[in-house]
Structure 1
Amino acid sequence: MSSNASRPSRSTHQRGRALGNRLFHLYDRTVLSHPVLTLLLVLVAAVIAGLRLDQFQLDASPDTLVMEGDESFEYYQQTYERFETTDDFLVVSYQPEDELFSDSVINRLTELRDDLIDVDGIDESNSILNVPLLHSPDITLMTVSKHMKTLEGNDVPLDTARKALMENPLYQNMLISNDGTTTAIQLLLPSNERYYELRDRRDELEQKQREEGLSGAEEGELAQVRAEYRERKEAVSAQQDRIIRDVRGVLANYGDQARIHLGGVPMIVADMMAFVESDLVTFGLGVLAFIILMLGIIFRQPRWVLLPLACCALTVWITLGFLGWVHWPVTVISSNFVSLLLIITMSLTIHLIVRHREYQQLQPDADRYQLVSETVSAMGRPCFYMVLTTVVAFGSLFFSDIRPVIDFGLMMTVGILIGYAVVFLVLPAVLMLMPRAAQPSGALHRTPITEYLARITDNYRGTIVTVSAALAVVCAVGVSWLSVENRFIDYFKSDTEIHQGMTVIDQKLGGTTPLDVIISLEEDDGELSKDCDPFVDPDCEPQEQIDSFFSTDGAQLVKNIHDYLDEQPQTGKVISLATTIRLAERVNQGELNPLQLGLMGRAFPEDLQGLLLDPYVNEETRQARFSIRLLETSPKLDRDALFERIRADLTREMGLKDDQVNLTGMAVLYNNMLQSLFSSQIKTLGAVFVAIMAMFLVLFRSLRVAVVAIVPNLLAAGTVLGIMGLMGVPLDMMTITIAAITVGIAVDDTIHYIYRFREEIRRDGDYQAAMHRSHQTIGRAMLYTSLTIIVGFSILALSNFIPTIYFGVFTALAMAIALLGALTLLPRLILMAKPFGPDRGTTTPGEDH
């Protein structure tokens, strides 16, 4: 490609230069000419943001794990309303040192239960103390209501109570372990009907808004409903957090004579957010300390430490205030956006500082205005393009169907733009007001690491390309091994209370994560059996269909499905109508005849119907519910494969139709979120790279340069994802963002390096000389930025929350890979392709420049 073909035309250059001159002239007349006013305006923005800083919140409600418009969530809500059940309960596991069924232990357990009931907000509890024992030789199915006894309400011998509880299929492996050493207390959390009404109305109006549009009155109602729902949601979340804290306070008083653990979905959610919130504070301060240390080591002047910190702090402060103003909650998925803003803002400030110090050494007699104006003029455009391409990288998150993931992309877009504005307003304005900094010590073009990488680029030409190609192949294999399956228990280290509690509940009390299988009966349409023809066979009758779960065939179907689900190695406790039927058969001391089955619902007293029947069968909708707890400790847990297998087996082996089988529950919603993350992020990275390629074409005005620039970015993103695949690290709600982060980081380094290389090549047309000069100028800024972030984010490896550890480690790895790619493979490709015209240099490889 000729020099003319690879460069923009003179008219394009002139138009771009003229626009740049006009923008800089405006910037000069405002920011540089009025630095005090500029800083005051930024301060006003910070004060306004601070007015809503208290509205900034973390949100881990089930809504945050749901895809936008996901029909599964609506079905989940309908199911729990239809069967009058809920996942909003806590489980306290109690494993005493002495025999469980002894007077002292039962008394101690009663005291614990009473203290837990006294916690404000606990509606009711279930335990071996108050559930009906249903064990007596005098009990029959028709007299069960007269002889129903409980351990605490009646004088029942402990041996008798133990036998009744251990033999009851409902309580076994749920309220009491199979070995009789561990019991559980279920604590039901308060239900807030108004909260669910507001959520349903909001969803209804938002759906109508998307499909038809809303009237003026409906728009007003939607705004009002959203506001009230937000307030109610915050109140419910605060109440649950307070209840969990109070419950833990009670449990702390009883840990001297028993092993006690707290479990349940609300606890898992609360602890996840507690870990995230703690990491935001603790490790945020740790990262800040490491960044201060690295800046001090690199620049050795207080102003070059304090100015980047001030820019980072203002960016985060204003962004958090903005999120508070617009009521944008931060979820587990977006919880690391603060760290990412630190990366990007720190990168911008370091690039400006390095360039400013470079001009300071080159022009020792220049005044403050000249140094600042030249720095801004040189770095404004590449930093702006860096910001745009980073926004495009995070734009991959817009393709997600999950609202919190979309919000994360939008948060990063807003935060990055705020960071760019803060850096180019605050840093130059402060430098205009401060006396000129002391002359940097040392030679201008001496950074050993970048010199070493430049020599590698010179001396190992073919090796760099060969190693990169081999790495690409290996990474492609690793990417193909990526999975999105993850167990909740794997989020926490083994020595944490939540990990130990989930293990006990899994192994002793029937599992952790709720899954529901809903079976619907077909409507009797009188369809003829396909196996006979009434014109040939006079005995042919219409095919019989099950008309009730309380019929002989219906009961057998329920039992078959129950047993199948119970046999799966990933499932723990399974409760269904089959559990109740088998309990009734035990009470009846034999199988139930059709009449007894039909009357079974009336035989149990009303309070037992609420325990044994209503949560598992709805005769009005002709549906049966199978409540399952998945074993989070199962090494074979693969939710997506399990759900597909259950659906396939129930339709293939049990003869059910597809529309008769539905899976729901928190496990399904979480799996849908993971699968959507995988499809919307990994599979759309290609589209993101196409968009970045287009931006490179606009920026560099050369197809050859754009192709050269995109290769290191592809390799950096592929390497990080490939390593995760090869290591067996699954993608989850936090690590899925590593792809967008890697692309954003690699793009930043690529733009800065090519932009500087293009400046250097115009000096003498010597590609190797331009490469060495670029390594010792912009390469230093890239090195300083990368080292600061790598060291700072490595501290996240000390977290107890495994996704945070992965985030820190792989973010640091992404920085290292992006840096190596930008300082070895990228210059090597530039030297090979010569996209800026013919090489007019005569420099020998390795020569010092």
Structure 2
Amino acid sequence: MLKRLNPSFWGYIASKILRNRIGLLVFIAIFTVFMASQWKYIKFTNTEANLLPANEKANIEYNAFLDKFGEEGNLIVIGIQDSLIFSPKIYASWEKLMTQLKQNKEVDLVISLDNLKKLQKNDSLSTFELTSLINPAKVSDANYLKEKKEELIHQMPFYEGLLYNKSGIIRSAIYLDKKIVNTPERKNLVLKKIIPAIESFEKETKVDLHVSGMPYIRSLNSEYIISEISLFIGAALGITSLIFFFFFRSFRTTLISICIVIVGVMWSFGFLGLLRYEITVLTALVPTLMIVIGIPNCIFLTNKYHQECRIHGNQAKALVRVITKVGTPTLITNLTTSFGFATFIVTNNVLLEEFGIVTSINIIALFLLCLFVIPVAYSYMSIPKERHLDHLEKSYSVSFLNWIQKTIKNKRTIVYTVAFSLLALGFYGTFKMRVSGSLIEDMPKKAAFFDDIVFFEKEFDGVMPIEIMIDTKRKKGVMKLTTLKRMDELQETIDSIPELSQPISIVNLVKYSKQAYYNNNPEYYSLPTTQEQAFILSYAKNSVKDSKENVMKSYVDSTGQYARITTFIKDEGINNIDAIQSKLQQKINEVFPKEKYEVSITGKALVFQKGTKYLLDNLVESLILSIFITALLIAFMFRSIKMIVVALIPNLLPLLMTAGIMGYFDIPLKPSTILVFGIAFGLSVDDTIRFLAEYRQELGRTNWKIKKSVFATLQESGLSMFYTSVVLFSGFSVFMLSSFGGTIALGGLVSITLLFGMLSNLVLLPSLVLTLNKKLANQQEFLEPTFNILSDEKIGNEENLNDKEE
């Protein structure tokens, strides 16, 4: 049974706060120091976001693949134009660069032009030997290098798509130790060793290299995220402080609010450390959210304090009324916002669970901080001067409120017409929305590494791996000719799909083995026939050793039972991944009998796409849960089903409008933009709760006169609602300074939704209440209200008591 939040409760709270001012400030200081001590536990995530729960089939298959073959995202590629590298001077610098990279203990294998191997038949040992393509003693001869270029491109199809392409791009493949791919050592290697070495090469030769691969992309991407945390905090603090000062025209009032949100930011980092959560692309937003959410709390409490000072000029009475009159609405609005973020916890996704937990905790902590500090701080200061109260009667604010009142009094038909038209447009736009599971769509498009992603997408058909794992259900089953032929047939299907790159597997090595057996004639680059298999496969089996020089060692497991086929998908093909998977699965079912083989399609690109769809379904559920919780709060306040409908309509309209905008402007649903609806609803509904809580109090004061209560509520809370909405709108706009497309979309869409939400709550909500006043004026429904109204007499008694104590 929920305890009724009545005025005596808030009177008791006000008394405790104002009587224990020093103790509260000391406690806050000690708690802040404790939170700061937890910063040492903050770490940036070194793993990619897995949007699927552990028990999902796609996740199980992906983890099974990792168990057999290890982390597949361990490849970094460096590309250069072949006309440049096959010149003696640049080749020498290239060889020096590759040697430098090879010397790093974190690098498992480097396959490059300077150490490129070709297969040579050794009849005496019935095996193939790896011999160097290029003789180091002859690299100063330009004609020799030209000959080797022709040999590579025209006689070594095994390396096509891996180290060269027909358009004249040569690249090196740097395979990192799989053990460090998801650790801080990967980032340290990329930023402090690989990048400086590449920059040194570019400076020495005046040749620009192209670098990509998942370890490289992830390392630079994380650097951008870290750098933007301070950008967002600084920008949010700056713009919200300027707006606050513009509204209140008081340095000391602005300074108090800035100090409060700075402490809130310190606490947010402290909670991340205390809970041992890593900083991810989502939790990195939490400190900025604390500023954006904290300033409106300061505005609402400060504005109420100024209103009370303007009315009676008694500071003690004003301080008590700040707590007793707005305590309930502010608590409920913060609870609503907190519950809105907490609904992310039910998504069964670790990334969102952590974001929901730490944000909801911080919102409640920030509310308590504002409630304690603002009255205490003002109690040590002199009463505001007349010039500090002028904002209550500024021409722009008075004109704005007058316009709202005239509109809802005389033009409600126009209000409903506009609302219905926007509803129809939004509803139609939602059918144009699309879902995107792109891994690189949200990456900073102005960054040099993004240009390199596009380069390799164009030249080598993508950088995002898709893996096919084949279980032959028997040891050494991979090297059976029947298995190899089935794999080759599947690879032909992969090759026919334009969104996929040329596949790589043990089949490529066996084909190369046949070519080598026939003295490296490229016409024999194919699987051996039944007659050839006995001697060629025996050579190939002897060649598949776990040596550091063997590029194929990662494509068959140590037992010979499991094989993998690796391909890469273009970013533009991600949205068609279901159709691609279906085509591959159809071929798998056709060539791999289920009684003999078990084949799974997996890889980061596939898991991420499926995770996006899973996330979409679960966030829709969390949004519904958030709406349901809000409905319960309205029911708790009013004990009226009709008021639930009246309260929800103004908040669902902005969400539908935002969905429509996404459809019209082709802004896809993806992990970043999906969050918009839950965040925006949780913040927009605050104004609804605030308005209705104040309206509920005015009903008691006006003896249930609906029209008088509505306009009194607008006079009492309209200005604060306007101020806070402007701050929220501007605060979320700072995310548009980001380099990441997803963060830009998140900031812009939330801002737009909050703008619509403000107008909807200030115009449509009171219009609905006035139109439905006869149906809502049933006093029996509001009998014994949840929130009792503090009568003037009771207020006077409590304030007299405080006056005596002062």
**TM-score bin, normalised by smaller chain:** 0.7 to 0.9
Q: Give the CA deviation at 1:305.
A: 1.2
Counterparts of 1:344 and 1:658, CA distance in 2? 59
Partner residue of 1:794?
733
Q: Report Cα offsets for 1:641-689 as digits up to 9, x if no partner.
A: 4334422443257666898331222223322321221110024422332
Taking a change above 3 Å as real, the CA distance of residues 466 and 617 of structure 1, as seen in their structure-2 partners, is same
Please give the secondary structure, in 2, of the residue aligned with 1:447: helix
| 1:793 and 1:809 in contact (8 A); partners too | yes
Alignment check: 8 A CA contact 1:95 1:258 kept: no
Deviation at 1:490, TM superposition (A): 2.2
Q: Which amino acid aligns with 1:177?
A: N
Aligned to 1:719: 657
Q: 1:306 aligns with which of 245, 255, 273?
A: 255
Question: Residue 413 of structure 2 corresponds to which residue in structure 1?
Answer: 462
- Partner Cα separation in structure 1 for residue 158 and residue 548 of structure 2: 13
Instruction: After TM superposition, list the pairs within 5 Å mapping 1:558-597 onto structure 2.
Output: 558-589=487-518, 590=524, 592=528, 593-596=532-535
Q: Write the letter of the residue equivalent to 2:132.
A: K
* Residue 338 of structure 2 is aligned to residue 351 of structure 1: no
- Cα gap change, 1:90/1:115 in structure 2, threshold over 3 Å: closer, same or farther? same
Are 2:733 and 1:747 equivalent residues in the alignment?
no
Q: Say if 2:370 is the partner of 1:423.
A: yes
Of 234, 242, 248, which aligns to 1:285?
234
Report the 3-state secondary structure (helix = DSSP H, G, I; strand = E; otherwise coil) of the residue aligned with 2:390: coil
DSSP-derived class of the 1:575 partner: coil
1:397 to 328, 344, 364: 344
Alignment match, 2:266: 317
1:680-691 matches, cutoff 5 A: 680-691=618-629
CA change 1:583–1:154 in 2 (3 A) is farther
Aligned mates of 2:28, 2:321 — CA distance in 1: 23
Letter in 1 for 2:73: D
Shift in Å at residue 394 of structure 1?
Answer: 1.8
Deviations 1:695-726 (A, max 9, x none): 21012222111111011122222222332233
Paired letter, 1:488: L
Q: Tell whether 2:310 aligns with 1:361.
A: yes
Q: Given the alignment of the two structures, is residue 174 of structure 1 paired with residue 162 of structure 2, yes or no?
A: yes
Find the counterpart in structure 2 of residue 57 from structure 1: 43
Scaled by the length of structure 2, the TM-score of the pair is: 0.87
Q: What does residue range 233-248 of structure 1 map to in structure 2 within 5 Å? A: 236-237=183-184, 240-248=187-195
1:702 maps to 2:640: yes
Q: SS at 1:173's partner residue?
A: coil
Q: What does residue range 31-50 of structure 1 map to in structure 2 within 5 Å?
A: 31-50=17-36
In structure 2, C-alpha distance between the alignment counterparts of 1:610 and 1:668, rounded to whole Å: 30
Indicate if the aligned counterparts of 1:142 and 1:603 stay in contact, CA closer than 8 A: no
What letter is aligned with 2:695? F
Within the candidate set 172, 176, 179, 1:189 is matched to: 176
Give the letter for the 2:93 counterpart.
R
Comparing 788-797 with 115-124, greater Cα deviation is found at: 115-124
Tell me, in whole angstroms, the C-alpha distance in 1 between the residues paired with 2:245 and 2:511.
Answer: 72
Alignment match of 2:128 (pick from 123, 128, 145):
145
The secondary structure found in structure 2 opposite 1:728 is: coil
In 2 relative to 1, CA 444–771 (structure 1 residues): closer, same or farther, beyond 3 Å? Answer: farther
Is it true that 1:406 corresponds to 2:353 in the alignment?
yes
Alignment partners' CA distance in 1, 2:328 and 2:111: 66
In structure 2, what residue type is equivalent to 1:92? I
Distance change in 2, residues 1:619/1:68 (3 Å):
closer
State the AA in 2 paired with 1:184: R
- Equivalence for 1:519: 470
Percentage identity across aligned positions? 18
Question: Is the CA contact (8 Å cut-off) linking 1:577 and 1:612 kept in structure 2?
Answer: no
User: Aligned runs of 1:639-718 on 2, under 5 Å?
Assistant: 639-651=577-589, 660-718=598-656
Please state how far the C-alpha of 1:836 moved relative to its aligned partner: 4.6
Q: Is the 8 A contact 1:94 1:261 kept in 2?
A: yes
Are the equivalent residues in 2 in contact too, given 1:332–1:733 (CA < 8 A)? no
**Residue 331 in 1 paired to residue 280 in 2?**
yes
5+ long unaligned stretches in structure 2: 519-523, 780-806
Provide the C-alpha distance between the structure 1 equivalents of 2:130 and 2:434, rounded to a whole number of angstroms: 54
Question: Where in structure 1 are there 5+ consecutive unaligned residues?
Answer: 1-11, 196-232, 524-545, 840-849
CA distance in 2, matches of 1:340, 1:548: 56
One-letter amino acid of the structure 2 residue matched with residue 416 of structure 1: I
Compared CA separation, residues 641 and 377, structure 1 to 2 (3 A): farther
8 Å CA contact retained: 1:454, 1:823: no
Residues 171-191 of structure 1 show CA distances to partners (whole Å, capped at 9, x for unaligned) of 2122223222x2222333334
Pairwise CA distance, 1:286: 1.5
Partner of 1:83: 69
* SS of equivalent residue, structure 1 residue 178: coil
Separation of aligned partners in 1, 2:390 and 2:627: 41
C-alpha distance in structure 2 between counterparts of 1:833 and 1:93, whole Å: 69
1:585-626 per-position Cα deviation (integer Å, ceiling 9, x unaligned): 322344522313542433426367973544223484633311
Amino acid at match of 1:837: A
CA contact (8 A) 2:479 2:560 kept: no
1:837 corresponding residue in structure 2: 777
8 Å contact from structure 2 (residues 513, 540) kept in 1: no
How far 1:830 sits from its partner (Å)?
0.8
Measured at CA, do residues 30 and 309 of structure 1 come closer, stay the same or move farther in structure 2, by a change above 3 Å? same
Match of 2:600, SS state, is: strand
Matching residue's letter, 2:757: A
TM-score, structure 1 normalization? 0.83
For 2:797, the equivalent position in structure 1 comes to: none
- 2:245 is matched with 296
> Per the alignment, in what secondary structure is the counterpart of residue 626 of structure 1?
strand
Task: State the distance in 1 between where 2:596 and 2:402 align.
Answer: 65
Residues 1:116 and 1:609: Cα distance change in structure 2 (over 3 Å): closer
CA distance in 2: counterparts of 1:818 and 1:659, whole angstroms: 56
Please identify which structure carries the higher helix content: 2
2:521 paired residue number:
none
Residues 1:59 and 1:552: Cα distance change in structure 2 (over 3 Å): closer
With over 3 angstroms needed to count, the CA separation of the structure-2 counterparts of 1:34 and 1:761, relative to structure 1, is: same
Contact 1:575 1:627 in 2 (8 A): yes
State how 1:619-658 maps to structure 2 within 5 Å: 620=559, 622-632=561-571, 634=572, 637-651=575-589
Find out whether 1:122 has 2:107 as its counterpart.
yes
The answer as to whether partners of 1:49 and 1:322 remain within 8 angstroms in 2 is yes
CA distance in 1, matches of 2:456, 2:601: 23
How big is the shift at 1:799?
2.2
Tell me what 1:503 maps to: 454
- How far residue 403 of structure 1 moved from its aligned partner, in angstroms, is 0.5
Q: How does 1:597-616 map to 2 (within 5 A)?
A: 598-604=537-543, 606=545, 611=550, 613-616=552-555
Tell me how far apart the structure 2 counterparts of residues 78 and 638 of structure 1 sit (CA, whole Å): 25
Alignment length (residue pairs): 756
Is 1:131 aligned to 2:100, yes or no? Answer: no
**What is the CA–CA distance in structure 2 between the aligned matches of 1:308 and 1:149, rounded to whole Å?**
69
Partners of 2:483 and 2:380 in 1: how far apart? 84
**Structure 1 residue 433 displacement after superposition:** 1.4
- Identify which range, 302-311 or 83-92, moves more after superposition: 83-92
Q: Quick check: 1:93–1:261 contact (8 Å CA) kept in 2? A: yes
Partners of 1:332 and 1:109 in 2: how far apart? 36
> In 1, are the aligned partners of 2:329 and 2:690 still within 8 Å (CA)?
yes
In structure 2, C-alpha distance between the alignment counterparts of 1:691 and 1:32, rounded to whole Å: 33
Residue of structure 2 in register with 1:736 after alignment:
674
Match of 1:222 in 2: none
Deviations along 1:88-143, one digit per CA (max 9) or x if unpaired, are 232222337x5332222211211221233345633442212212133x7x788976
SS in structure 2 at match of 1:336: helix
The partner residue of 2:721 within 773, 782, 787 is 782
State the alpha-carbon separation in 1 of the partners of residues 208 and 643 from structure 2: 65
Range with greater deviation from structure 2 (658-667 or 601-610): 601-610
Q: Is residue 342 from structure 1 mapped to residue 281 from structure 2 by the alignment?
A: no
2:14 maps to which residue? Answer: 28
For each residue in 1:561-586, what CA deviation from the matched residue of structure 2 results, as whole angstroms up to 9, or x when unmatched?
Answer: 01111221221231012222322232
1:350-399 deviations in whole A, cap 9, x for unaligned? 111111111111112x1x22111101101111111112222222233122
